Amino acid sequence: MEKGKFIVIEGIDGSGVTTEAVKLKEHIATKLNLPVHLTKEPTDGPVGGLIRTILAKRVGAPCHNGKFESIDPRCLALLFAADRLDHLEVDIRPKLEGGVVVICDRYILSSLAYQSLNVDRRWLEQINAKGITPDLTVYLQVPPLVAERRRNQARWHVELYEETPKLERVSQNYLEAIADLRKRGQRVEVVDGNRPMREVHRDIMALVKPLLTTKAGSARKRRQPPVDAPRLDIAFAGENEPGAKEVPV
Ligand code: TYD
C-alpha cells in the first residue's frame, strides 16, 4: 500500500498556521476527495497537556534567585520531543501507513525555531532524531509585528513565546533552520503569509496538489465511495512509492 503524504505547516504565533492547516484539510477532503487527518503539536496527549500548562505560565516554582521560573528550557525541549514521539507512534505513523494524508500543525521545525532561543540547535536535532521526515513543510512567513496585531485581535492572554522581540528571534531561527534542513535534502517551502487568506491558501495548494495527485492518488480518488456513503479513514492500495522516510533532521 502506498503511504500517505506527511505535510507540516509552520510559522510564528499569529502567522495563520492553524487557519491554513484547517483550510488545507478541507480542500484535500472535499475537493481532492482523499482521506486526510489534521493533527497538531503540542498534542492533546499526556505530555502535550503538561506543555500547554507550561506555555500558559500556569506551572512553575520559585528558583534560587527568588524569581518564578516555569521550567528549565532544556526540559521543555525534551517534553516537546517526548510529546512528538508519542504523537508519531500513536497517531501519525499508523495513519501514514494506512495511506492517509497527514497534516501536522507544527512539528520538529517549531522546536528548532523556538527552543533554540535558549538551547543548542544541534542538541535539539539529536533529541528529535527519531522523527519522520515530512514530505513537505510549508513555512508561513509573516513579519512579527503583523503577527502580533493578529494575535491581539484573537486572544486575551499572552503565552510563553508570544512576545514580539522573542518572535523576531524565532523568525530568524526559522530561516536558519530551514536553510540547514534544505541542505540536507528536506523539502521546506516558504510562503508569504502576509496576504489575504485566499491567496495564501492558493499558494499552499499549488505546492500540495502535485504531491497528492500522483498516478496512485488518482486511482485512489476514482475508488472513493459516493459522498453520502460513510467514509472510512483508510486508504487503498497504491503504487509502491516511498513514503515518509525515517531520516534524522
Ligand atoms: P500554538 O501552535 O499557537 O497553539 P495554540 O493556538 O493552541 O496556542 O501554540 C503552541 C506554542 O508552542 C507556540 O508558541 C509554539 C510553541 N512550540 C514550541 O515552542 N516548540 C515546539 O516544538 C512546538 C510544537 C510548539
Per-residue pLDDT of 14-36, as tens digits, reads: 999 999 999 999 999 999 999 99
Residue 216 confidence (pLDDT) above 50: no
The average pLDDT across 170-187 equals 98
> Which residues, 6+ apart, have CB-to-CB distance to 206 below 8 Å?
none
pLDDT top residue among 6 and 154: 6
Nearest ligand 1 atom to alpha carbon 160: 14
Contact 174, 12 (CB under 8 A): yes
Of 8, 13, 84, best ligand 1 pocket probe by most atoms within 8 Å of the beta carbon: 13
CA atoms within 13 A on the CB side of 114: 25
Report which of 210, 168, 169 is spatially closest to residue 189, judged by C-alpha positions.
210
Select 6-222's CATH number: 3.40.228.10, 3.40.50.300, 3.40.50.1980, 3.10.20.30.
3.40.50.300
Index of the ligand 1 atom closest to the CA of residue 106:
24
Alpha helix segments (H runs only) across 184-232: 197-212, 215-222
Q: Is the whole model's pTM more than 0.75, yes or no?
A: yes
Distance 2 CA to ligand 1 centre (A): 31
Spell out which residues line ligand 1, taking CB within 6 angstroms. 13, 18, 41-42, 55, 80, 106, 110-111, 114-115, 159, 161
Calculate Rg over the CA atoms of the chain: 19
Domains in the chain: boundaries: 6-222
Q: 115-129, pLDDT tens digit by residue?
A: 999 999 999 999 999
Q: What is the mean pLDDT of residues 31-55?
A: 96
Quote the ligand 1 centre to 122 CA distance (angstroms). Answer: 20
The residue contributing the CA closest to ligand 1 atom 20 is 111
